[in-house]
Structure 1
Amino acid sequence: MPYPSHAIVQWTKDSAKQLLPDAVFLSLLHWKRIGRFPKLFRPTTYNEKILLRCLRPDPRYSALTDKLTARDYVRDKIGEKFLIPMISAPCNFTQTIFDMLPNSFVMKANHGSSFVEIVRDKSQCTFEHLQFLVSRWLSTNFYRNARERHYRGIQPRIFFENLLLDEHGAIPADYKVHCFANRPGRPVMFILVISDRFGSNTRGDTYDAQWNHLDLEFAPYLRSTRPAPPPNNLELLLDTAALLSEDFDYVRVDLYAPTDEVFFGELTFTPGAGVSPMRPDCVDFEWGRLLK
């Protein structure tokens, strides 16, 4: 049976995109999503400077973006207690590995974004389902998605962590702390809170370090109509982000803060690959002035 014409057209487009040089690919994607071509030689906006990082990454980025090797950095920097307990990081996923997993856990891959599978009850999950995800994740070349070059240095692996739950038995909010070290002392910090990330009412709200709810939306997240109360451990969360970011002029530190604890999620040096719309657009320029 011949392939439908629309499938052939899409395959042709996708193949053509892969042939584009990284700078051209990202410039076109920036224009498509942001609405203007990036100034690569004299970047001024936040997205332009992030895009340039994708093309010229710091040599440290690969090891610190790898969710497994980043644990060593966190352990040395702030201690083991800030790491989500690890269950297993097998070289191969087998039935035996599956059988040894506890009743609840989280399966992740180390080499990209959104490789997350939450299992609350293993009796409702099958080895074949997870094996399918593992095969798909490990065969994904995440660098090809948005040409973030430091991802090329990460060897794909899967791993299993304890499932974190808040006091209500829900998946805790994701605190993405943007840290700009453009002054002595604690960096300028903005906290993007992703709530109900795996539910039907996902929201993204941005706060400053004093927990003022900012008029800012990061695509694709919608802003809540009402601000959430600050976490009880806000100061510990900010102190943790500051310590993990102190070796860089900018990094986004992703943390979880269930109950009174703080746990490390990941370090992100090129959020949105420099093609993430910000509303209002003027914030793209304001944050650009904070980023060296």
Structure 2
Amino acid sequence: MKAASKGRFLLKRVFSLIIPEFIRVFVYPVFRGRSVVNPLHKRTLNALINNSKLYERFSEVSLTQDKLLAKLWVERHAPWVKTPTVYRVARTFSGLDLESFEGSGFIKTNHSCGYNYFFNKGAKVPPDVVESFDLALTQKFNEAAVEWSYKYVRPRIYIEEVVESDLPDIELRDYKVFVVFGKAKMIQVDCDRFTNHRRSLFDVEWNELNVEFEYPSYDLKIERPERLTEMLEAAERIAMPFQFCRVDFYIAKDEIVFGEVSHYPEGGYGRFSPKCFEKEIIDATEEGRLFLDRYYV
């Protein structure tokens, strides 16, 4: 595991050094088995995201990508949204000093995705988990994919408050709001992520879409969040400076809880089924309408 991880990071580093960014945007999806994207032609969602990688480069992009600094941005622009408490921040795993930590929390990194470990007081953290975090803290995240927003994020590891679900026997649901040209346009809800991952999509009036995005749709009905309107307003305020970003929330104890901001979901190469929906997102936004009837359940 250690050798594979270091080898993967090294390969991406070499790839980043020898191939110019503009070419990488075209070539990188081929290595992932995805369709080539033209970032100059902003007529599809993935093209818009990749355009942002190359041309939307200002401090607010980097600030909101940093999972720690993004909390400050949210507190300023959407003060009615709760931001989970951060208990400790460090530069290395050992710097968290878990032996003296009371209680439980999620261990995360602020500069990458996929690093999320639940810790409870007195528990022994497996060596491979520690090694994985420490390796991640020495790397630039997604440099090969030209994900510029991570470039100036200083890697840190931290312990964050656990946000618990209000629904018994149901995992905490996160609501991922896609904001396109300043307008909330679509909500993504992921279910059973650690067992049988399903993903459902809704428009801003909570009408379910007959569209798949990387994963099959969830079979059961997902109720409309009671504070959906406030959530959408918060997403638009948080995303105001950007031509696109996704803002993630939870609903817990009747509070809207901030998750994170993602400027390049699925790396800008996510697959929709039907594929034409990727263009419909842009068309519907520019025309100020909901999606066409054929895209609904």
Shorter-chain TM-score bucket reads 0.7 to 0.9
Task: Indicate the residue corresponding to 1:3 in structure 2.
Answer: none
CA-to-partner distance for each residue in 1:14-47, whole Å, 9 max, x for gaps? 6763422222222123356686433333332111
Equivalent in 14, 17, 22 of residue 15 of structure 2: 17
Offset, 1:278: 1.3
Q: Which ranges in structure 2 are unaligned for 5 or more consecutive residues?
A: 1-7, 287-297
Contact 2:34–2:269 (CA<8 Å) still a contact in 1? no
| Structure 1 residues 110 and 11: CA distance shift in structure 2, 3 A | closer
Does the C-alpha gap of structure 1 residues 11 and 267 become closer, same or farther in structure 2, counting only changes over 3 Å?
closer
After superposition, the Cα gap between the structure-2 partners of 1:122 and 1:195, relative to the gap in structure 1 and judged at 3 Å, is farther
Contact conserved, 1:164 with 1:171, CA < 8 A, in 2?
no
- Structure 1: distance between partners of 2:93 and 2:179: 36
Q: 1:114/1:126 Cα in 2 relative to 1: closer, same or farther (>3 Å)?
A: closer
Q: Secondary structure at the match of 1:286?
A: helix
TM-score normalised over the length of structure 1: 0.83
In 1, the alpha carbon distance for the partners of 2:97 and 2:200 equals: 38
- The DSSP-based 3-state class of the residue aligned with 2:23 is helix
- Tell me which amino acid in the other structure corresponds to 1:243: R
Unaligned 5+ runs, structure 1 = 1-9
Is the 1:108–1:160 contact (alpha carbons within 8 Å) kept by the matching residues of 2? Answer: yes
Percent of pairs identical after alignment? 23
Q: What's 1:205 paired with? A: 200
User: Structure 1 205/115 Cα, relative in aligned 2: closer, same or farther at 3 Å?
Assistant: same
CA–CA distance in structure 2, aligned partners of residues 13 and 137 of structure 1: 15
Is 241-250 or 108-117 further displaced after alignment? 241-250
What is the letter of the counterpart of residue 79 of structure 2?
Answer: G
Matched positions, count: 278
Where do residues 127-166 of structure 1 align in structure 2 (5 Å cutoff)?
Answer: 128=127, 130-166=129-165
- Give 4+ residue runs of structure 1 displaced > 4 Å after superposition: 10-16, 31-36, 127-130
Separation in structure 2 between the aligned mates of residue 40 and residue 172 of structure 1, nearest angstrom: 35
Please say which of residues 225-234 and 69-78 is displaced more in the overlay.
225-234
Instruction: For residues 193-240 of structure 1, give each alpha carbon's deviation from its aligned partner in whole angstroms, at most 9, with x where no partner exists.
Output: 11233x212211111111111112221x22112331122332332232
Maintained 8 Å contact 1:175/1:254: yes
Q: How far apart are 1:251 and its partner, in Å? A: 1.9
Change (3 A) 1:81 1:42: closer
In structure 2, relative to structure 1, the CA distance for the partners of 1:259 and 1:12 (3 Å cut) is closer
TM-score when normalising by structure 2: 0.82
- Distance in 2 (alpha carbons) for counterparts of 1:68 and 1:35: 31
In structure 2, relative to structure 1, the CA distance for the partners of 1:14 and 1:131 (3 Å cut) is: closer
Specify whether residues 291 and 39 from structure 1 end up closer, same or farther in structure 2 by C-alpha distance, changes over 3 A only: farther
RMSD of aligned residue pairs (Cα, Å): 2.9
Tell whether 2:192 aligns with 1:196.
yes
The answer on 1:268 being equivalent to 2:262 is yes
